[in-house]
Every structure is written in C-alpha cells, then in structure tokens.
Amino acid sequence: MSCSETPRSGREEKRLLWFRRGAQAAFSIPGLILASAFVGFAGLARDAGLTLTQTLFMTGIVWALPAKVVLVGAILAGNGLLAAAFAVTLSSVRLAPMVVTLIPEIRTPKTPSWVLYLLSHFVAVTSWVVAMERFRSVPKTMRASFYAGLGSTLILNNMVVVTLVFVLAARLPPAVSAALFFLTPLYFLTSLWGSARERAGQAAMLFGLALGPVFHLLTPGFDLVAAGLLAGSAAFGLHLIGKRRRQA
C-alpha cells in the first residue's frame, strides 16, 4: 500500500513545485507591467461608478484587460446587456489563436478535459507570452501545473492592485489618475511588439499607430475598425511579398 502511495505522493509534490514556479514567474517584468496597467483600469472603473466588489468580480471573471475596458466603456455609454456582451465577445475573439497554440503545449494523454477548460480561462497576452517563453524548461507533464500557478497568481496580483487603487484613488490628484490609465495602452503596445514573431506583426502596429489619428478625423466612431483593417491588410501584403522574395 505504501509502495503505491509513494509514487503518487511524489507526483503531487512535483506538481506543487511547478505550481510554485509558475506563481514565481508571475512576479516578472511582464507581470509588473500588467499590474501597472490594472492601476489605470481600476481608476477607470472607479470613475465609471463601479464598486470595488464589481471591479474585483470583473478582474477575476473577465480575465483579459481589453474586455474589461470594453465592458466599462459600454456601461459608461449606457448600452444594454446584449450589446455589452457582444462587444466583450468580439474583443475576446483574438484570444482564440492563443488558446489553440497553448493547449497542445500543456495537454497530455492523462490531462482531464476540465483542467484544459479551466486553464484556458487564464489565457491572455501576458500569461501566454510568459508561458510560451518558459515552457522550454518545463517538463510537458508539469506544464499544466506551471500554467495554473502563473495564471492564478497574475489574477490574484491584479485583484490586490485593484483593491489598493480603490482605497487610495480618492487621495490621488485627477491628473495622476488619468496618467495611470494611459499605462494600459502602453502595456499592450510593448507586450504585442515584444511577442511578435514576425516583422509583419510589428509593421501592422506601426501602420495602425499612423492611420489611427487619420481615420479618427475622417470616420469618427469607425476609426479603430478602419485603421485595423487597413493596417493589418497592408502588413499582411508586405509579409506575402517578403515571403515570395525569399522563395525566389
């Protein structure tokens, strides 16, 4: 009996060890940048009239930061529940490719399906980037434990940040609170730039930054969609041209 329990106990200890290592990975530069972005989000939610309980619930349930910002924007605009849900869904569709590439990295023949569903809830830019970088040194059988520690710790850290901001935001000057909010787009720009595996992704961001103000003047209300479509199409075209030149 003891012989059969010893290997199982050893596996549990290894899982706990890799869970702790995943939690430690959350205390990194990407995790710090994400926490700073949540400072701005918490200030936005507080100014929108949300309570601390509501904001903490959003932080834990609606994981990706853009989805939360979209939801707060929908609340400020007075949109209905269905419109807000549709907007949050559209903002979260971009995470589907991340889930598709991440799950095969952590799935083993013995991994329960409910574990994969639970871990997919943690998928966002920061957790995905950190995990894909660290998985090279993590045994595949332990990657689920590692990612569980990483994702859950990132969420808990951001919930702590949100709580502190709600407690201290009333004492901050309005200009400081507004400046902190701009950490959010800065975080996404730097994270996406650093995680881009091809030049086309970086080119799309540069084109988008240049075209955004132009379309804001030409088509306000449709500026982000128009700039994104044109910038993404132009970057993809450059990617195809470069690929053909390399094959020639």
Burial class (CB in 10 A: 0-12, 13-18, 19+), 238: middle
Give the C-alpha separation, 223 to 229, whole Å: 10
Say if residue 79's pLDDT is above 80. no
Give the C-alpha separation, 75 to 69, whole Å: 10
Q: Is 154:31 a contact under the CB 8 Å cutoff?
A: yes
Structure token digits, residue 98? 């991340």
CA-wise closest residue to 103 among 118, 116, 122:
116
The residue segments making up the domain with residue 138 are: 2-182
Give the C-alpha separation, 55 to 164, whole Å: 12
- Asked, for residue 94, whether it belongs to a domain, the answer is yes
* Count of the separate structural domains present in the chain: 2
Give pLDDT tens digits for 114-172.
999 999 888 888 888 889 888 989 999 999 999 999 999 999 999 999 998 888 766 66
pLDDT at 187: 64
Of 125, 151, 182, the residue at which a domain comes to its end is: 182
Question: Based on the domain organization, do 234 and 153 belong to the same domain?
Answer: no
Question: Based on the domain organization, do 204 and 177 belong to the same domain?
Answer: no
Question: Based on the domain organization, do 235 and 112 belong to the same domain?
Answer: no
Question: Based on the domain organization, do 168 and 227 belong to the same domain?
Answer: no
Give pLDDT tens digits for 178-214.
666 666 567 667 666 766 667 777 888 888 888 888 8
Q: Is 47:180 a contact under the CB 8 Å cutoff?
A: no
**Residue-wise DSSP of 191-212:** HHHHH--SHHHHHHHHHHHHHH
Give pLDDT tens digits for 27-73.
987 788 788 778 878 877 887 888 899 899 988 886 678 788 888 88
Q: For 232, what's the count of Cα atoms within 13 Å in the CB-facing half-sphere?
A: 6
Q: Is 5:163 a contact under the CB 8 Å cutoff?
A: no
pTM (predicted TM-score)? 0.72
pLDDT at 1: 47
Q: Is 55:162 a contact under the CB 8 Å cutoff?
A: yes
Q: Is 46:71 a contact under the CB 8 Å cutoff?
A: no
Q: Is 42:166 a contact under the CB 8 Å cutoff?
A: yes
- Asked, for residue 51, whether it belongs to a domain, the answer is yes
State whether residue 25 is helix, strand or coil: helix
- Asked, for residue 187, whether it belongs to a domain, the answer is no
